[in-house]
Amino acid sequence: SPAPGGEVQLTAPKGSAPKTKEQKRREAEARNRAYAALKNHRKRIAQLDEQMERDNARMEELLAMMADPDFYVNEDASSDAIAEHAKLKQRLAAAEEEWFTLTEELETEMARQQEQA
């Protein structure tokens, strides 16, 4: 609406006060924290992908060795391989669980950020 003197006065829509510097700063900090968290999640997910790929390859090697009946002739070697297989199996299960959790958190945070954009 024109103010006295013919100037147009710009006003914020009713119910929305202009953001203070403090509000803007807090929002920027929150965005930066969210970005950093997403970056860390992506990095860890990539690390887990590589680890799971290596562990799965080693599991395949161990399973192939254990499928050979002659493998069990040397008890020390066979028991070491069986123990390594069991350890890898546990490590893979833990890595997969962490991978799923991080992926879910990443997708949730990305969706939340899109809603705010």
For 60-109, how does the pLDDT look when each residue is reduced to its tens digit (9 = 90+)?
A: 999 999 999 999 999 998 999 999 999 999 999 999 999 999 999 999 98
For 17-64, how does the pLDDT look when each residue is reduced to its tens digit (9 = 90+)?
A: 678 999 888 888 888 888 888 899 999 999 999 999 999 999 999 999
- Cα–Cα distance, 4 to 83 (Å, whole number): 87
**Beta strand ranges found along 28-102 (DSSP E):** none
23-116 CATH fold: Helix Hairpins (1.10.287)
